[in-house]
Structure 1
Amino acid sequence: MTELSGWGLFPQIDCRVVRARCEDDVRKAVLAAPLIARGNGRAYGDAALNPGQTLDMTGMDRMLSFKDGMLVAEAGVLLADIIHAFLPRGWFPLVTPGTKMVSLGGAIAADVHGKNHHVDGSFRSCVDWVELMGMDGEVSRVAPGDELFEWTLGGMGLTGVILRAQIRLRPVESSWIVQDSKALTSLTETIDAFEAAMDAPYSVAWIDCTDGPQHGHSILLLGRHARSEDLPADRPKFNLQRRGKIPVPFGMPLLFKGRALQLINSAYWRLKARRAGRALVDWDSYFYPLDGLANWNKLYGRNGFIQFQCVLPRDMAPDGLAKLMAAIAESKQGSVLSVLKRFGPQTSHFSFPMAGYTLAMDFPANERSLALMEQLDKITLAHGGRFYLAKDARMAQAVAKADPRAETFAAMRKETGLAARFASVQSERLGL
Structure 2
Amino acid sequence: MEQPAAKPWTGIALAILACAALAIMGEKPWFALAILLIWIGSLWLKFDEPPSMETASGEAGLTRDTMAELIEHSGTPLLLTRRDRVTIANRAARDVLGPHILGQDVRIALRHPEAIALAEHDEPASATVYNLARRRDVWLVSRKPFNGDYAVIDLTDQSAGANVGRAHTDFVANASHELRTPLASIIGYVETLIDEPGDESLRARFHQTILREAKRLQQLVDDLLSLSRVEAGEHDLPSEHIDLAPLVLLAARDAAGPARADRIDFALEDATIQGDVPQLEQAVRNVVDNALKYGADDGRVRISLTSEGEAAELTVADQGDGIAPDHLPHLTRRFYRVDPGRSRASGGTGLGLALVKHIVERHRGRLDIASEHGAGTTVTIRLPIARGDNSASHDTVTQL
TM-score, L = length of structure 1? 0.20
Higher-helix-fraction structure:
2
Higher-strand-fraction structure:
1
Structure number with higher relative contact order (C-alpha < 8 Å, ≥ 6 residues apart): 1
